[in-house]
């Protein structure tokens, strides 16, 4: 191939590449980049972050002493608190060490979740997470304004012990007492202890309408 032919071939290649570039630029004028391996151009899709609408926070690992009053005083420095509820045992009234807190502003709730998660408080790392609106239980705030009164088990046991019983209930109670007394005698005998237990004698108390058991001393 002579010099003239080489020069003509170079011109034809430059012309073809220029035409191809024009065609590509027209076809892919709206794309962001062209792949190196060829093919149609691609457009970069900008990722749009979802708008945060969560205002409710879950707070876990709550230490003793950090209750409603203390928690409200601590978190109100971030923003206005709408509602606050600490999960408590209905019988004892004790804290279950987790709570739900609602702010009026979702941006404040997100800042608290990001900045206060794993915050060390009284040797406890607080676990704070945003609760999506679709996962908030409809009955979450039912007892938010109610004061939980713990059950007085001593009073319940006292009333159960002192209640008036029917004749059948007295008979059932007597059978239980005699049955336990028989087991007690058996255990004493199996232990090799020589002791003669006095017999139980039931005396009816007319005024109290109860049966009082005593040991026969004869």
Q: What is the DSSP string of 36-104?
A: TT-SS-B-PPPPPPPPP---EEEEESPPTT--HHHHHHHHTTTS-EEEEEEEE-TTT--EEEEEEEEES
CB atoms within 10 A of CB 190: 8
User: Does residue 125 sit in the same domain as residue 86?
Assistant: yes
Both 66 and 38 in one domain: the answer is no
Q: Is residue 184 included in any domain, yes or no?
A: yes
Beta bridge pairs of residue 205: 210
With respect to residue 142, please indicate whether it lies within any of the assigned structural domains.
Answer: no
Mean pLDDT of the region 154-163: 87
CB atoms under 10 Å from CB of 74, counted, come to 13
* The pLDDT of residue 17: 59
- From 120, 135, 150, the end of a domain falls on 135
Q: What pLDDT was estimated at residue 207? A: 47
Cβ burial 100-111 (10 Å sphere, 16+ → b, else e): bbbbeebebbbe
Contact assessment for residue 216 and residue 199, using Cβ atoms and an 8 Å cutoff: yes
**125 and 61 co-located in one domain:** yes
- pLDDT band at residue 41 under the 50/70/90 scheme: low
Instruction: Give the CATH number, domain containing residue 120.
Output: 3.30.70.330
Rounded Cα distance, 174 and 147, in Å: 42
Same domain, 73 and 26: no
22 occurs within a structural domain:
yes
Total tally of structural domains belonging to the chain = 3
Buried b vs exposed e over 124-154: b needs ≥16 C-beta within 10 Å? eebebebbeeeeeeeeebeeeeeeeeeeeee
Q: CB–CB of 57/119 below 8 Å?
A: no
64 and 115 together in one domain: yes
Residues of the chain with pLDDT > 90, as a percent, come to 28
Mean pLDDT, the chain, rounded, equals 78
Could you tell me the pTM of the whole model?
A: 0.51
116 closest CA partner among 75, 56, 67: 75
pLDDT digits (tens, 9 = 90+) for 88-128: 888 888 889 999 999 999 999 999 999 999 999 888 999 99
The domain in which residue 19 lies consists of 8-43
Let me know if residue 121 belongs to a domain.
yes
Residue 204 has pLDDT above 70, yes or no: no
SS3 210: strand
- What pLDDT shows up at residue 3? 66
């Amino acid at each position: 191939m002579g010099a003239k032919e080489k020069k003509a071939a170079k011109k034809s290649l430059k012309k073809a590449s220029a035409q191809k570039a024009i065609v590509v630029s027209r076809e892919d004028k709206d794309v962001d980049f062209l792949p190196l391996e060829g093919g149609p151009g691609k457009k970069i899709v900008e990722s749009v972050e979802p708008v945060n609408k969560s205002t409710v926070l879950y707070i876990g690992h709550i230490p003793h002493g950090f209750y409603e009053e203390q928690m409200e005083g601590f978190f109100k420095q971030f923003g206005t608190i709408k509602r606050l509820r600490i999960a408590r045992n209905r019988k004892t009234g004790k804290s279950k060490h987790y709570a739900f807190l609602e702010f009026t502003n979702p941006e404040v709730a997100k800042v608290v979740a990001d900045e206060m998660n794993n915050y060390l408080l009284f040797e406890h790392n607080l676990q704070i997470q945003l609760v999506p609106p679709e996962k908030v239980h409809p009955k979450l705030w039912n007892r938010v304004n109610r004061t939980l009164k713990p059950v007085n088990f001593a009073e319940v046991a006292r009333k159960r012990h002192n209640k008036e019983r029917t004749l059948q209930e007295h008979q059932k109670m007597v059978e239980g007492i005699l049955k336990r007394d028989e087991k007690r005698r058996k255990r004493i005998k199996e232990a090799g202890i020589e002791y003669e237990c006095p017999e139980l004698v039931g005396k009816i108390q007319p005024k109290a309408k109860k049966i009082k058991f005593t040991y026969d001393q004869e």
